Chains A and B, each alone.
Chain A
């Protein structure tokens, strides 16, 4: 996507990334490090060791006060009433046309306080959308510009970070968090979440402390050969797990039911467009987001056509790559429901050839 270079923002540690040799590219309105050395090496570092992504472009909103939960229940699809303090929930913001405004994480940070973490490209859209539905007057604050976010991921992440904090990281379950001191920086949210399937933590840090903490993490991880990791590897890692990327696999026009996000779409409560989505769930949908792997050699890419044996178009690829862990082409795409069953033979149109693939249930990579 072409972006006006003059409108691009920089993350607070931009110069540090440049000094580490990062190739900076426009992404979601920011200059972001796409790679420091090699996509494949960085991918493998996360699968086998430990690495750090600076994903400070992500947006953070605080919603608090007596009306906070009611607002979150109204705008998100998952049931936030189930969240206890210290827990995180994956959710989405359905629009009123059947699509998705954004996918997000909801943290319960206090009795009447929540943190919403949204995609960088959607910060303004989400803020307007939630504000528009805030008719009961919940207290909302957009703190996106004052918070840095590091994702310290990989099987060795806990060992590295434990050197820097008294918080018991081993006891922190997946999708839980604690707020504490790490590397001498106070009030950091240490969250056992990530977008890689490799384990690890995400750290929410005030901008002013970010550089200090980055350096502390790299000192602590020297023995584990910790590396900075770019967005290139982030994409292949998330795709190997079958995690959706907003703008590729879900958008304003895809329904959470079609996208396989039924598990975060809870009809135990009313929310925006819940009646329509419930009816979709009951009646079934005509297309579904599925995972597939290439049987013949080829690399699927977003917008390639999916066809059947008769060369009839039955769907479209939403994300695809060569899986660094598996060494084959993998992808996700929307496909007519009758072809969505795992094991179904399909074909991907790659440069005027129809190459054989089969539908599989993600994750593609199993640790």
Chain B
């Protein structure tokens, strides 16, 4: 399993790539593997400001449903349109083509509470 060092992680198994005041959010390699084949992603929150740790969408695998949690407070500016028709991209390329939303960050300081790749790997016992 792969956990890029340039990303930050949450205990809810999201990753976040921070670039200035914007960020890209997805779910980790561990999360996609636990969920199995992802067949549907729903996020009706584009345009809304969602608080850190609140639900911004849902990812559905064949067997299970899982909520998606905001790693950082901000406005959802975009949902990856490719994963609407090809949700399996989250399985095949969780940190690349399988990204889920883009976010305009509200409180940059919240980034300090995110986990490093090492801390996340420790959390999941890898």
Query: Which chain A positions have C-beta within 8 A of B61?
Result: 39
B60 and A299 within 8 A (CB): yes
A322 and B36 within 8 A (CB): no
Q: Does B3 contact A (CB under 8 A)?
A: no
Q: Does B39 contact A (CB under 8 A)?
A: yes
A299 and B63 within 8 A (CB): no
Most chain B CB within 10 A, of A40, A297, A298, is at A40
CA distance A180 to B19 in the complex (A): 67
Q: Does B62 contact A (CB under 8 A)?
A: yes
Q: Does A194 contact B (CB under 8 A)?
A: no
Q: Does A45 contact B (CB under 8 A)?
A: no
Residue of A nearest to B62 (CB): A39
Distance (whole angstroms) from the CB of A337 to the closest CB of chain B: 29
CA distance A297 to B61 in the complex (A): 14
B62 and A232 within 8 A (CB): yes
Q: Does B22 contact A (CB under 8 A)?
A: no
Number of interface residues of A (CB under 8 A): 16
B58 and A35 within 8 A (CB): no
Query: Which chain B positions have C-beta within 8 A of A351?
Result: 42, 58
| Chain A positions 112 through 144: 1 when the CB is less than 8 Å from some CB of chain B, otherwise 0 | 000000000000000000000000000000000
Q: Which of B42, B60, B62, B91 contacts A236 (CB 8 A)?
A: B62
A299 and B65 within 8 A (CB): yes
Q: Which of B37, B42, B60 contacts A40 (CB 8 A)?
A: B37
A39 and B36 within 8 A (CB): yes
Q: Does B30 contact A (CB under 8 A)?
A: no
Residue of B nearest to A235 (CB): B63
Query: Which chain B positions have C-beta within 8 A of A322?
Result: 39-40, 60, 62
CA distance A322 to B41 in the complex (A): 12
Query: Which chain A positions have C-beta within 8 A of B40?
Result: 297-299, 322
Q: Does A324 contact B (CB under 8 A)?
A: yes
Distance (whole angstroms) from the CB of B126 to the closest CB of chain A: 15
| Chain A positions 257 through 297: 1 when the CB is less than 8 Å from some CB of chain B, otherwise 0 | 00000000000000000000000000000000000000001
Q: Does A56 contact B (CB under 8 A)?
A: no
CA distance A35 to B37 in the complex (A): 10
Q: Does A301 contact B (CB under 8 A)?
A: yes
A residues bordering B, Cβ < 8 Å? 34-35, 38-40, 232, 235-236, 297-299, 301, 321-322, 324, 351
B residues bordering A, Cβ < 8 Å? 36-37, 39-40, 42, 58, 60-63, 65, 91
Going nearest first, the 8 A-B pairs with the smallest beta carbon separation are A39-B62, A322-B39, A40-B37, A39-B37, A39-B36, A299-B60, A38-B37, A232-B63
